[in-house]
Amino acid sequence: MIQHHPDNNMLLEYASGSLNWAHSLVVSAHLQLCPKCAAQLKLLNSIGGALLESAVPPANHTDDTESAFSRLMGRIDTNENVVDRVVEDAKNPSPSREPVFSSLPPVVKKLMQRNPVLKWRRLSKGLREARLKTGQSRHEVAFHRIAPGNKVAEHDHRGKEITMVLYGSFSDADGVYSRGDFLVREPGEVHRPTATLDQECLCLSVVEAPVALTGFLGKLVNPFLSIKPQ
Amino acid sequence: MQSSPQTRDDEWSTLLVKVGVSRDRVAFEKLFNHFAPLIKGFQFSRGGQSSAPEAADELVQEVMFRVWRKAPSFDPTVSSASTWVFTIMRNCRIDALRRNSRQPDTDDSLEVDDIWDERFDNQPLVYLQQSRVQITVEAGLSSLPPEQSHVIEKAYMEGKSHSEISAELGLPLGTVKSRVRLALKKLQSTLVR
Predicted complex ipTM: 0.92
What does the pLDDT read at residue A136?
A: 85
Given strand A194-195, what is the order of strands in its sheet? Answer: A175-178, A169-172, A194-195
For residue A129, is it within any domain? Answer: yes
On whether any CB of chain A is under 8 Å from the CB of B55, the answer is no
Given strand A127-131, what is the order of strands in its sheet? Answer: A121-124, A127-131, A140-146, A201-207, A161-167, A182-185
Q: Are A125 and A177 in contact (CB under 8 A)?
A: no
Among the ranges given (A5-19, A171-185, B5-19, B125-139), the one the predictor scored with the smallest mean pLDDT:
B125-139
Mutate to test the interface with B, among A41, A53, A76, A108 (most CBs of B within 10 A): A53
How high is the mean pLDDT in each 10-residue block of chain B (193 residues)?
Answer: 64 95 96 94 67 82 96 91 96 90 66 88 67 87 96 95 96 97 94 71
Q: Provide the number of structural domains found in chain A.
A: 1
Whether the pLDDT of residue A107 is over 50: the answer is yes
What does the pLDDT read at residue A197?
A: 79
For residue A182, is it within any domain? Answer: yes
Q: Are B94 and A15 in contact (CB under 8 A)?
A: no
For residue A127, is it within any domain? Answer: yes
- Chain A residues in contact with B90 by the CB 8 A cut-off are 15-17, 48
Compute chain A's Rg from CA coordinates: 21
For residue A26, is it within any domain? Answer: no
* A109-144 core/surface letters (b: 16 or more CB in 10 A; e: else): bbbbbbbeebeeeebbebbbbbbbbbbbeebbbbbb
Q: Enumerate the domain spans of chain B.
A: 5-123, 143-193
B169: alpha, beta or left? (left if phi > 0; alpha if psi -120 to 50): alpha
For residue A2, is it within any domain? Answer: no
Class of domain B143-193: mainly alpha
Helix (H, G, I), strand (E, B) or coil at A159: coil
Of A32, A46, A62, the CB nearest to B133: A46
pLDDT tens-digit readout, A187-221: 877 778 888 878 899 999 999 855 544 554 444 44
Mutate to test the interface with A, among B88, B111, B156 (most CBs of A within 10 A): B156
Q: Are A130 and A174 in contact (CB under 8 A)?
A: no
- Chain A residues in contact with B181 by the CB 8 A cut-off are 8-9
For residue A184, is it within any domain? Answer: yes
Q: Which of residues 7-26 of B touch A (CB under 8 A)?
A: 9, 25
For residue A226, is it within any domain? Answer: no
Of A33, A65, A134, the CB nearest to B33: A65
CATH of the domain at A163: 2.60.120.10
Length of chain B measured in residues: 193
Backbone φ, ψ for residue A50 (5° rounding): -65, -40
Q: Which domain holds residue A155?
A: 118-221
- Nearest-Cα distance to chain B for A225, in Å, is 24
Q: What is the CATH code of the structural domain delimited by B5-123? A: 1.10.1740
